[in-house]
Amino acid sequence: MSVLEQFSLQGRVALVTGAGRGLGRAMAVAFAEAGASVICAARTAADVETSAELCNATAGQGLAAICDVGNADQREAAVKLATERFGRLDVLVNNAGGAYPNDPLNTSTADFDRDFHFNVTTALAMSQLCLPQLREHQGSIINISSAAARYAQAGFSSYSTVKAALSQLTRSLAADFAPAVRVNGIAPGSILTDALGQFLDQETQQKMADLTPMKRLGRAEDIAAAALYLASPAAAWVTGKILEIDGGAEASTWPF
């Protein structure tokens, strides 16, 4: 197999949650460009339909699935759609997640539980649903964690904790599912998506870039390239790892 063939997803089927925008859309399109058929799953119909259209404009295919990962019925429907339309499932990307900055003294236990469920519990649930297909096809799971999981930074006690839990779930599931299914994660640093951009003006963006050794914020395509590697045969001997894609930052670049 040539080097380029090792990065091909021809004939593979991937399901990407949170694929309506940002990192999820970029990963879905990258997989399709590599030849995969991709289930683009997210809550907003217009967003996932656009993502699917972008996938269909490549060498692969895209299919939209309305899926709130917090809804068990919608999780099951998204997985069923993949197997019924494409006959298999090779890659699961647990990308849906996130949490706002928080003050720990004013964070209710209900809010903390909500963040944990959204980021960690749903990733476990999706992995459980997909595991039979992934085992049959020697597939892989990719969990999208965060650089915040290893930083000590004020104002992120909820987000950093749940992402750290997701990173550890990744390592644990890798041990549980090996050798049939690989489980890896990506810990993005500061990526300039709509989710982050809503908090930043040009001045704060520049401050964050200055705090990053590579002197720029990340792009969604930076994460998509890492996800393609982990999903492809090129990473056949990689499991239980968290790829840190953060421009070299070893501390928070949050400027506030």
Residue 1, pLDDT score? 83
Mean of the pLDDT values across residues 30-34? 98
User: Residue 89 falls within a domain, yes or no?
Assistant: yes
Please list, in sequence order, all residues whose beta carbon lies within 8 angstroms of the beta carbon of residue 84, skipping any fewer than 6 positions away: none
Q: What are phi and psi of 191, to 5 degrees?
A: -110, 130
Residue 213, pLDDT score? 97
The structure tokens listed for 151 are 């930083």
pLDDT category of residue 256 using cuts at 50, 70 and 90: confident
User: Residue 250 falls within a domain, yes or no?
Assistant: no
User: Residue 253 falls within a domain, yes or no?
Assistant: no
Summarize pLDDT for 119-143 with one digit per residue, the tens: 999 999 999 999 999 999 999 999 9
Q: What is the CA radius of gyration of the chain?
A: 17
User: Residue 254 falls within a domain, yes or no?
Assistant: no
Question: Is residue 194 within 8 Å of 21, Cβ to Cβ?
Answer: yes
DSSP states of 122-154: HHHHHHHHHHHHHHHTT-EEEEE--GGGT---T
Summarize pLDDT for 39-95 with one digit per residue, the tens: 999 999 999 999 999 999 999 999 999 999 999 999 999 999 999 999 999 999 999
Rounded to 5°, the CA angle 111-112-117 comes to 95
As for how many domains the chain has, the answer is 1
Proportion of the chain above pLDDT 70, given as a percent: 100
User: Residue 172 falls within a domain, yes or no?
Assistant: yes
pLDDT category of residue 193 using cuts at 50, 70 and 90: confident
Rounded to 5°, the CA angle 114-116-121 comes to 105
Question: Is residue 119 within 8 Å of 99, Cβ to Cβ?
Answer: yes
| β-pair partners for 143 | 94, 185
User: Residue 233 falls within a domain, yes or no?
Assistant: yes
Q: Which of 167, 247, 223, 229 is nearest to 25 (CA)?
A: 223
CATH number of 70's domain: 3.40.50.720
Residue 200, pLDDT score? 83
Does the annotation mark 159 as catalytic? yes
Give the range of the structural domain holding residue 122, as residue numbers without chain letter. Answer: 3-244
User: Residue 211 falls within a domain, yes or no?
Assistant: yes
User: Residue 51 falls within a domain, yes or no?
Assistant: yes
Of 100, 151, 159, 229, the active-site residue reads 159
